[in-house]
Amino acid sequence: MANRYKLFTAADALQPQPAIQWIIENVFSPGSVTLVYGKQGAKKTWLMMDAAISICTGDPWLGYPTRQGNSLIIDEESGRRRMGRRLTQVLHGHNGNEHTPIFYTTLENFNLQKQGEIQSITEMIIKTDAKFIFIDALMDIMPGADENAVGDVSPIFHALRTIAEITDSAIVVIHHASKGTGEYRGSTGISAAVDVVMKVEAIPKSPLVNIYMEKTRDTEEFQFSAKFEYTDDAVTWTAEAAPAPGMNKKLTPAQIYVISFLRNNGPQDTNAVESNTVGCTPATARKELYNLEKMGYLEKIPGNGGQGSRSVWAVTLDGLVNMPDYIPGFPDGKLF
């Protein structure tokens, strides 16, 4: 009776191993499964659509080289009209046309708890020769399952990994973040089952988006930022600093208060900042205004009253990039 498995030895492991043939350098590789998560409105779908089209056209994605290939979107959330409209905008942003090798399905109700559905998706990837596939969203392909139960999520990700290996493709699954903590919803088994965990965080009242590579099996963890620009005709993403200046700096509660207050209320004078303190004293807030200016996170600009009017404080681009989306110790993680 033939064995159902193939057994390898140390001699096999010691053979020269091929280098990783990145689909997007240092981000997505063949045979990998990635979880992309973020809060509602974080532009996760837009970001992955841009990655898909970048691969189709061979354009760099946010400064990272791509290996040109076909892409496939499995949409279970947007619907045909919205998906078609969005995809048109992203294609225009890359000067794509009807020959751009992007394929998509929409609202097909795929269920990866069924072996026949796993086979259907595998066959679709082979048919389209797609090397980058993203699925929107996780809970839509496991209807009725409990995202908090390891026994429910593990078979889904095992199926995705098998598909990725068979098709030599990178599979990305979009998921949602908890409203409370800002971390991904569900079992810790989700993170254990994937190769990459990518958190997408939109900066409020700003076109900037921070991307955190929280788990990576083939590189060091890193962060980078992007700028999202939207018009009725086109959507474009451009790279910001990678990583953004100071993204790894820890801010004090008083510094978080100051940036958050100015971000949410616009430029304000010193008295306004001191009069609305949360989590710190007015004196500490005043001191941090000047410290944050030295750090490059705030700037002083003339007031609106003309010559002689009091100057006001405003948040700089670096201040917006470095402001955390979730603030421990405050209700719902928010100061305001």
Q: What ranges do the domains of the chain cover?
A: 19-239, 253-333
Task: Please say whether the dihedral angle defined by the alpha carbons of residues 47, 327, 319 and 241, taken in this order, is positive or negative.
Answer: negative
The pLDDT, as a whole number, for residue 55 is: 98
Give, to the nearest 10 degrees, the angle between helix 115-128 and helix 150-167: 30
Q: At residue 179, does pLDDT exceed 70? A: yes
d(CA 201, CA 208): 9
Phi and psi, residue 46, nearest 5°: -55, -45
d(CA 182, CA 83): 26
**Mean confidence (pLDDT) of the chain:** 89
CA-angle at 157, arms to 171 and 61, nearest 5°: 20
Q: At residue 148, does pLDDT exceed 90? A: yes
Q: Which CATH number fits domain 19-239: 3.40.50.300, 3.30.450.20, 3.30.1330.10, 3.40.50.150?
A: 3.40.50.300
d(CA 334, CA 336): 6
**Which DSSP state fits 177?**
B
The pLDDT, as a whole number, for residue 326 is: 46
pLDDT digits (tens, 9 = 90+) for 65-95: 999 999 999 999 999 999 999 999 999 999 9
N-to-C CA span, the chain:
68
Confidence of residue 297 (pLDDT cuts 50, 70, 90): confident
Q: What fold is seen in the domain 253-333?
A: Arc Repressor Mutant, subunit A (1.10.10)
Q: At residue 325, does pLDDT exceed 70? A: no
The pTM assigned to this predicted structure is 0.73
Same fold, 19-239 and 253-333: no
d(CA 239, CA 225): 6
**What are the helix (H) ranges across 189-244?**
189-193
Q: What is the mean pLDDT of residues 318-329?
A: 62
Three-state DSSP at 27 gives: coil
